[in-house]
Amino acid sequence: MPQARICALLTLLLALGTGPAFAADNTAQSLTRFFKGTTRSLPSPDIDFHITAGYAVLRTGKPDSSGRYAMTSINVARVAPDIYRLDLELEKPLPRDIPTFEQPYFFTEKRTYYFWYQNGKRIIFKVGDKKVTLPLGRKELLRVNIHSTDTYTLDRETMLKNLTFDDGTATIHLQLKFK
C-alpha cells in the first residue's frame, strides 16, 4: 500500500510540474536549445572581458531590505560552448537610526544568470524565459600620438562597458573590462 501512495504522489507532482526541481531546467542541452539560432558553427575562444564591478537594485516591498545591494562575489563559469553561468552574491547592510557597537546585519541575496557570448558585439542574457540582448559597442580605443613629423606611436586602450538589465523586481548593473 505505501508504494501506491508514493506512485500517486509522484504522478501528482509530475502532473503539476511545480516546485524548485521543475522551475528551471538549466542543463547544457536545454541552454543550447534556449540560445539556438544565435550560435555559430565554431565555438569562440574564452571570453575577452571580465566583470570588474557591479551592483543590484532590489525592490522587495519592504523599506529595510529594498535598495542598492553591493556585489560581494562575481563568478563566471563556462557551461557549454559560448554559454556561461554568472553567479552573483549581493549584500546590503541594515540601516540603523542609532549608532551601536553591535555587528551590522546584512541582507544577502544570491542570483544566477546564464548568458551567451562569442566575443562579438552583443551579449544575450537568459532572464526567466526571455532573451535580453545587450549591445556592447566598441571594445578598444586607438590613439595616435605624433611625436614629430616622422615618428608616432599607437596606443590601444581597452574600454569599460556598463550593462544594465531588469529581472522582475531587480535591476542588475555590471561593469565589464575588455582584455
Rounded Cα distance between 139 and 126, Å, is: 23
What amino acid is encoded at 150 in this protein?
D
pTM of the model: 0.74
* Region 153-158 average pLDDT: 86
**Whether pLDDT at 148 is above 80:** yes
Residue 147: CB atoms within 10 A of its CB come to 8
Q: What is the pLDDT of residue 21?
A: 36
- The percent of residues in the chain predicted with pLDDT above 90, rounded, is 41
User: What's the grid cell of residue 7?
Assistant: 506512485
Select the more confidently predicted residue: 173 or 64: 173
Is the pLDDT confidence value at 22 over 50?
Answer: no
Contact between 114 and 26 (Cβ < 8 Å): yes
Q: Per residue in 116-137, pLDDT tens? A: 998 888 899 999 889 999 998 8
Beta-strand runs (E) in the chain: 49-58, 67-80, 83-93, 106-116, 122-127, 130-135, 140-146, 152-158, 160-167, 170-178
**pLDDT for residue 123:** 93
Phi/psi of residue 34, nearest 5 degrees: -65, -45
Are 102 and 93 spatial neighbours (Cβ–Cβ below 8 Å)?
Answer: no
Give the model confidence (pLDDT) of 63-96 as tens digits. 889 999 999 999 999 988 889 999 999 999 988 8
Task: Map out the domains of the chain as residue ranges.
Answer: 26-178
Cell triple for 5: 501512495
* pLDDT value of position 84: 93
Residue type, 30: S
Distance CA 132, CA 102 (A): 42
- Tell me: the pLDDT tens digits for 38-58? 656 666 677 889 999 999 999
* pLDDT attached to residue 14: 41
Q: What residues are paired with 51 via a beta bridge? A: 176
Across the chain, what does the average pLDDT equal?
82
Residue scoring higher pLDDT (60 or 2): 60
State the pLDDT at residue 108: 95
Per 3-state DSSP, the chain is made up of helix, strand and coil in percentages (nearest 5) of: 15, 50, 35
Residue 20 confidence (pLDDT) above 50: no
